[in-house]
Amino acid sequence: MVHYEDIEVGSRQSFGRYAVTREEVVEYAAKYDPQPFHLDDEAAAKTYFGRLSASGWHSCAMTMRMLVDNMSTVQQAGLGSPGIDNLRWLKPVYPGDVLRCETEVIEKRRSLSRPDMGLFKSRVRVFNQSDEPVLEMVSNGLIRVRNPDAPVP
């Protein structure tokens, strides 16, 4: 089980494979982001996107799926997340795209008020099948400290 002490700043991972389907793009948009360029090919053709594209929020949901799937292969003493920073949608995600993730730990620190808890920040980048970045964010993760009685540096 991975704890705070096991996380190394600079460590990287590459994982995930998510095939984006037209049906899922339209279904998600109809429920959560019903803008014409996420629902209708003809309407989308007249926009910046040029064709039907996934909602940015749907891109985030697909990213979360890949992150959670990866966490299930590498057991962590995770305690949730206080949120994300600097979310950017860099390129549209289209039906037919196949997405993958890369992460890099960029910072970590122990909690002063909760010595049993640490926080780490990871840069998350999502790429399509052409290795073009489509999404980037900084994820903040809370994780259990293996030895809470150890001094907080």
- Please report, in tens digits, the pLDDT of each residue of the chain (153 residues total): 999 999 999 999 999 999 999 999 999 999 999 999 999 999 999 999 999 999 999 999 999 999 999 998 988 999 999 999 999 999 999 999 999 999 999 999 999 899 999 999 999 999 999 999 999 999 999 999 999 988 877
Q: How far apart are CA 53 and CA 66, in angstroms?
A: 19
Structure tokens at 61: 């949901």
Q: Write down the pLDDT at residue 151.
A: 83
State pTM to two decimals: 0.94
Q: How far apart are CA 100 and CA 84, in angstroms?
A: 19
Q: Does domain 4-144 have CATH number 3.10.129.10?
A: yes
| Tokens 């970590």, residue located | 108
Is residue 38 classed exposed, middle or buried when 0-12, 13-18 and 19+ CB atoms within 10 A define those classes? buried
E strands along 1-153, which residues?
Answer: 12-19, 83-89, 98-110, 117-127, 133-144
The domain limits of the chain are 4-144
Q: How far apart are CA 20 and CA 5, in angstroms?
A: 36
Q: Write down the pLDDT at residue 75.
A: 87
